[in-house]
C-alpha cells in the first residue's frame, strides 16, 4: 500500500501560469481533501470531495478548482497562479465508517509562485 | 465555527524531561479530537483519536487525554526522535471536515 501520494513534490511557477496537482490514494477511501499549510496558520481546507464526481468548497477555495473523476484521484488546479498561492499543499483521504474520522495525508507539494 | 488553539507554539526539552502540550477547542458536537505528528518536509502522520471526555490513549512515550474543553499530549522521558511538530484537530457535528490548530513544535536535545 502506497497510501496517499502526491505529484509533483516541488514546483516553481511564474505569476499567471497554470498547473495541476495530482493526489492518488490506494486505500479505497470515499472522502478526499486538499489543504494548504502556511507558517503559523495551520492547515486550511481548500476543497474536498465526498465521492467520485462530487466536490465542495472549503475554507479558502478562491483561485483553485478541483475535480474527482475517479474515486482514487483528486486533482487541484490553479488557473492563474498568484504569489499568495505560494504554500505547501497536502492531500488527505478518509474512509466512511461510523466513529472513524481520521484523515491520512500525503507527503505534500511545495509550490513557489514568483 | 469550530476553533482549535494550541500552546505553547514551541517547546524545547532536554532528553528525559517530561512535558505536556495543550490543545483548547470549541466545537459544535464533538465527533472526535485528533493528534498528528509532522516531521519537517513531510505530511502529518496520524497518532490518536479521542472521542469523549475522560478518554486516554497511549503510544510509546506519548499519552493523549481529553476533557470537555481541552486535550493534552503528554510526552514522558522524551528522546531526540520525538522532535516534531504536533498538530491537534477536531471533527464537529457535520462529520465532514477537520479544523486544525497551528501546532506545537517540540525540540528535544540530547
* Tens-digit pLDDT string for chain A (114 aa): 789 999 999 999 999 999 999 999 999 999 999 999 998 888 999 999 999 999 999 999 999 999 999 999 999 999 999 999 999 999 999 998 877 889 999 999 999 999
Answer for the pair A94, A27: CB distance below 8 angstroms, yes or no: no
Chain A residues whose CB is inside 8 A of the B98 CB are 43, 45, 101, 103
Chain A residues whose CB is inside 8 A of the B51 CB are 99
Regions of chain B short of the pLDDT cut 50? none
Interface-testing mutation among B44, B88, B105, with chain A (most A C-beta atoms within 10 A): B44
Q: Select from A58, A101, A104 the Cβ nearest to the Cβ of B95.
A: A101
Q: Select from A44, A101, A105 the Cβ nearest to the Cβ of B44.
A: A105
In the block, residue with C-alpha cell 507527503: A107
Kindly state the cell numbers that stand for A92.
488527505
- Supply the DSSP symbol for B81: G
Q: Which of these, B51, B77, B61, B8, lies nearest to A102 by C-alpha position? A: B51
Answer for the pair A74, A49: CB distance below 8 angstroms, yes or no: yes
Answer for the pair A90, B44: CB distance below 8 angstroms, yes or no: yes
Number of helices followed by number of strands (H, E) in chain A? 0, 11
Residue A102 Cα, gap to closest chain B Cα (Å): 7
In order, the DSSP letters of chain A are ---EEEE-SEEEE-TT--EEEEEEESS--SEEEEEEEETTTEEEEEEEEEETTEEEE-SS-TT-EEE-SSTTEEEEEESS--GGG-EEEEEEEE--BTTB---EE---EEEEE-
How far is residue B99's CA from residue A102's CA, in Å, rounded to a whole number? 12
B45 touches chain A (CB under 8 A): yes
Q: What is the pLDDT of residues A49-74, one digit of tens each?
A: 999 999 999 999 999 999 999 999 99
Q: Which of these, B70, B73, B55, B85, lies nearest to B25 by C-alpha position? A: B70
Answer for the pair A38, A53: CB distance below 8 angstroms, yes or no: no
Question: Cα torsion for A79, A84, A90, A92, to the nearest 10°?
Answer: -70
Q: What confidence score (pLDDT) does residue B20 get? A: 98
Amino acid at each position: 500500500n502506497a497510501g496517499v501520494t502526491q505529484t509533483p513534490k516541488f514546483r516553481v511557477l511564474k505569476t499567471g501560469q497554470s498547473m495541476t496537482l495530482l493526489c492518488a490514494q490506494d486505500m479505497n477511501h470515499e472522502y478526499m481533501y486538499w489543504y494548504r499549510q502556511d507558517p503559523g496558520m495551520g492547515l486550511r481546507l481548500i476543497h474536498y470531495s465526498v465521492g467520485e464526481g462530487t466536490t465542495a468548497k472549503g475554507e479558502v477555495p478562491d483561485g483553485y478548482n478541483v475535480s474527482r473523476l475517479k474515486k482514487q484521484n483528486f486533482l487541484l488546479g490553479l488557473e492563474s497562479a498568484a504569489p499568495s498561492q505560494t504554500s505547501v499543499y497536502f492531500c488527505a483521504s478518509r474512509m466512511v465508517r461510523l466513529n472513524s474520522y481520521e484523515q491520512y495525508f500525503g507527503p505534500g507539494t511545495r509550490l513557489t509562485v514568483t | 465555527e469550530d476553533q482549535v488553539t494550541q500552546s505553547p507554539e514551541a517547546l524545547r526539552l532536554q532528553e528525559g524531561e517530561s512535558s505536556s502540550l495543550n490543545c483548547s477547542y470549541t466545537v459544535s458536537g464533538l465527533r472526535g479530537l485528533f493528534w498528528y505528528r509532522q516531521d519537517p518536509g513531510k505530511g502529518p502522520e496520524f497518532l490518536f483519536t479521542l472521542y469523549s471526555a475522560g478518554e486516554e490513549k497511549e503510544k510509546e512515550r506519548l499519552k493523549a487525554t481529553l476533557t470537555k474543553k481541552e486535550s493534552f499530549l503528554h510526552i514522558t522521558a522524551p528522546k531526540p526522535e520525538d522532535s516534531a511538530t504536533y498538530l491537534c484537530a477536531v471533527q464537529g457535528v457535520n462529520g465532514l471536515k477537520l479544523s486544525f490548530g497551528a501546532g506545537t513544535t517540540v525540540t528535544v536535545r540530547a
